[in-house]
Amino acid sequence: MTATATTGPVDPTTTDAWQRLAALAEGFSPDLRGWFAADPGRAERLTFDAADLHVDLSKGLVDADVLAALVALSEEVGLAERRDAMFRGDHVNVTEDRAVLHTALRLPADASLVVDGTDVVPEVHEVLRRVYDFAERVRSGAWTGVTGQRIRTVVNIGIGGSDLGPVMAYEALAPYRHAEIECRFISNIDPTDAATTLAGLDPESTLFIVSSKTFGTLETLTNARLCKAWLLEQLGSGVDEKAAIEKHFVAVSTALDKVADFGIDPANAFGFWDWVGGRYSVDSAIGTSLVVAIGPERFAEFLAGMHAMDEHFRTTDTASNVPALMGLLNIWYADFLGAQTHAVLPYSQLLHRFPAYLQQLTMESNGKGVRWDGTPVTTETGEVFWGEPGTNGQHAFYQLIHQSTRLIPADFIAFANPAYPLRDGETDVHELFLANFLAQTRALAFGKTADEVRAEGTAEAIVPARVFTGNRPTASIVAADLTPSVLGQLIALYEHITFTQGVVWGIDSFDQWGVELGKQLAVQISPAIAGDAEVAAQQDPSTRALIDYYRAHRR
C-alpha cells in the first residue's frame, strides 16, 4: 500500500508494523549492557557508512525486532515511493502545489532532470556560474565599492532559511574563509541587530546581500532599508545614490521584480526557484555570502557532499540507509518510547550554530498537526530539536540527559582531526576533547549501578543520587575532518532524516503555514502600538493592557 495524491497518506497507526512496534514497546526493557555483552557483533552490525560519515547507532535503544518492524513500517507507509517522487520532481509539497527539489541544486552539471516540462539542471548551473563569477570578483578585489575601494565586509541580510544556513556554514567552515573578507549577518528586526552588526564598518568597503526567497519578509526588507539608509548617510552627500546602491547591494530571491522595485540592479540579482524551500536553500544562491567567504571551489565541494548523501539516501536499502534508519529510530523514540525532544551535540566548536540551523529544518518541516491531505495526524509529531556544542553542554544541561525522568535521544557529532593544526609540542587538546565525546556516549549508554557507586566508598545515603541508569540512547556521527563536503553531507543527512519522519507521519514537510498568523497579527497590531486607539480597542484585554504598558513606559 502506498500513498498517492488521490488516496492521501497512509495512516501509520493502521499498519501491521505499527501494531508490532506498539506491542514491542509495551514490555520494552532496554538493556544496553546486556545487549552488548550477549552480542559481540552489535557495534559492527549497527554501524553504517554514508559517504564520508561513519555512523554508530549501536548505542540506540533498538534490538533486531524493533529494527525489523521499523523497516517494515517504512515499507508500509511507502517511504521509498515518496522519496522517489521527491527526487523526480512530483509536487510532494501538496499544500503549495510545488515540487521539492533542493536535491536538484546539487546535481552535477551533466545530469538532467525535467520538471514540469523544463530541464532544471542547466538553469541551476547557470545561476551557480553567475554567483561564482560575482564571488570571484569580490574575492579578487575586481568588484569595488562606489569610491573604488575593494570589499572587506559582506553583510547578509535575511532571516530563517535565508540566514541560518549561510551563517551556520560560514561559522562551520571558518578555516576555509578568505583571509581579508569578513561576513556578517543581520536577521532580527530588533534594531539592535543592525546597529551592532554595522558598528565600526567602513561603508566604502561594505557590500550587502539582501537574501529573501519571497522578497516580502518584513524583517529582511526593513533591515535592508535600514542598511540602505546607513550606507547613503555614511557615504555622504557627494555620492551618487543609484551608483552607490548598484555597487553596494546585491540580492538573492525568487521574486526578481520586487528586487528591482527595491532599487537593486537586476544584473546584480541571483534567482532561484519556488521548488527550493527556505530551510533547504543554503545550497542555492542564498549561499552567496558563503561562496564569497570560501570560494567557488570549496562551495562546489559542499554541493558535492550533499549530492553524495542524496545518492546514499536515494539508492541504499532501508536496512542500511543512514538517514532512513535515523528517521525511523526517531519515530520509535517519539511515538513509542515517549521522547519529546531530541538533542544534537556537536563536539566541534565550529558547529556551534548547527543546532539552531536544525531547529528550523526539523521543526518548521515537521511541527504540524495535520497531514498533507488535511486530515489530523494520528500520532505525536515533531520533536523539539535543540543542542549546544560539547563540552559546554556537559557543564550546563547534560545533568538532565543523564539522570532526569525524561528520555532524550541525542546525536553526537565529532571529527578525528582538529580544525586547526596543533603547534609543535602542544598538548593534544583535541584528544582530550574527543575523550569527552566518547565518555559521554558511554556514560549515557551504560550508566553506573548502585553497586559500582558503593564500591567507590560512597556513603549509602547518597548512593541513589549518584546512580546513572544508563540506557539513554545516542547516535555517534563521526568523520575524519569537518570539510565543506562533510558539512554538506551532514546537512543532507538531516534533511533526509526530517523527510523520513514526515513521510511516516503523513506530513507535508515543505510548507510552513504555522508562521502566517503571527505575521498577519503583527501588521494588524502595529498601529495600536503607534497610538491608534481604535485599533487598540479591537485587541483582547491582555494585549490591550500590554500595549498600554508599552505606551506608558516608552521614552
- Active-site positions read 364, 395, 519
Mode of pairing for the β-strands spanning 153-157 and 118-119: unpaired
Rule CB under 6 A: say whether 498 interacts with ligand F6P.
no
Rule CB under 6 A: say whether 214 interacts with ligand F6P.
yes
Contact 212, 271 (CB under 8 A): no
Interhelix angle 484-505/64-77, rounded to 10 degrees, is 70
Contact 343, 349 (CB under 8 A): no
Q: Which three cell numbers stand for residue 497?
A: 532524516
Euclidean distance between CA atoms 50 and 48, whole angstroms: 7
Tell me which stretch binds ligand F6P (CB under 6 A): 70-78, 97-105, 211-219, 375-383. Answer: 211-219
Euclidean distance between CA atoms 171 and 126, whole angstroms: 27
Minimum CB–partner distance for residue 254 and ligand F6P (Å):
8
Euclidean distance between CA atoms 519 and 143, whole angstroms: 37
- Tell me which of 106, 184, 213, 248 binds ligand F6P, using CB under 6 A: 213
Rule CB under 6 A: say whether 161 interacts with ligand F6P.
yes
Euclidean distance between CA atoms 253 and 210, whole angstroms: 8
Give the contacts of 40 (CB within 8 A, at least 6 positions apart): none
Minimum CB–partner distance for residue 511 and ligand F6P (Å):
9
Tell me which stretch binds ligand F6P (CB under 6 A): 103-111, 158-166, 180-188, 226-234. Answer: 158-166
Rule CB under 6 A: say whether 187 interacts with ligand F6P.
no
Rule CB under 6 A: say whether 60 interacts with ligand F6P.
no
Longest Cα–Cα distance of the chain, Å, equals 80
Spacing of C-alpha 485 from chain mean position: 16
Total interface residues for ligand F6P by CB under 6 A: 14
The beta strands (E) that lie in 353-445 are given as: 384-386, 410-415
Q: Which is nearer to ligand F6P, 211 or 501 (CB)?
A: 211
Tell me which stretch binds ligand F6P (CB under 6 A): 22-30, 154-162, 459-467, 524-532. Answer: 154-162
Q: Which three cell numbers stand for residue 153?
A: 565586509
Contact 87, 314 (CB under 8 A): yes
- Tell me which of 32, 61, 85, 159 binds ligand F6P, using CB under 6 A: 159
Contact 86, 100 (CB under 8 A): yes
Rule CB under 6 A: say whether 93 interacts with ligand F6P.
no
Rule CB under 6 A: say whether 515 interacts with ligand F6P.
yes
Rule CB under 6 A: say whether 334 interacts with ligand F6P.
no
- Tell me which of 220, 284, 321, 485 binds ligand F6P, using CB under 6 A: 220
- Tell me which of 278, 287, 382, 488 binds ligand F6P, using CB under 6 A: 278
Q: Which is nearer to ligand F6P, 287 or 473 (CB)?
A: 287
Residues in contact with ligand F6P by CB under 6 A are 159-162, 212-214, 217, 220, 278-279, 364, 512, 515
